[in-house]
Amino acid sequence: MTFEVIGTYATAIFLLIGSGFALVGVLGLLKFNDSMTRLHAPTKVGTVGIGALLLASMTYSYVSGAPSMHELLIMAFLFVTAPISANFIAKVNIHLRTCETPPAPPRDDTWSTLKAPEDDQDLDPASDT
């Protein structure tokens, strides 16, 4: 097998993987009911699908003799901006109360702090020996 044939097969595999992920993202976007569940399909699955399609484009351009690295910039921009935009969309939905409110933390005084509950504190670790 020559380098061109292997590159063509790799391009085809990347195209199939990318289109499969993009299809799952589209189906998830159409199937889910509210905006918070719809948010996961295009941001998670779609990002991987577009990444695989861009990888196919890079592979094809390298095999055809005109290598292009513009796709790396597109992938970097996509992988950085997709989670941030998903976070902003989720925050808007929470603030507009268009979705279920997240549950309150069980102990509000110790949640996300370094303060440990008094029940969990050891009196003297040296006395255990």
For 73-115, how does the pLDDT look when each residue is reduced to its tens digit (9 = 90+)? Answer: 998 898 888 888 888 888 888 788 776 666 776 666 666 666 6
Give the confidence band of 8 by pLDDT, cuts at 50, 70, 90. very high
Q: Which residue type does 117 have?
A: P
Top-confidence range, 2-11, 60-69, 94-103: 2-11
pLDDT attached to residue 58: 92
Percent of the chain with pLDDT over 90: 22
Query: Residue 116's pLDDT is what?
Result: 64
HSE-CB for 67 with a 13 A CA cutoff: 4
Q: Is the pTM of this model over 0.85?
A: no
Q: Comparing 3-7, 34-38, 44-48, 100-104, which segment has the lowest mean pLDDT?
A: 100-104
> By the 8 A CB rule, do 18 and 50 touch?
yes
What Rg value do the Cα atoms of the chain yield, rounded? 24
Sequence-distant (6+) residues with CB within 8 A of 32 are: 38, 40, 41
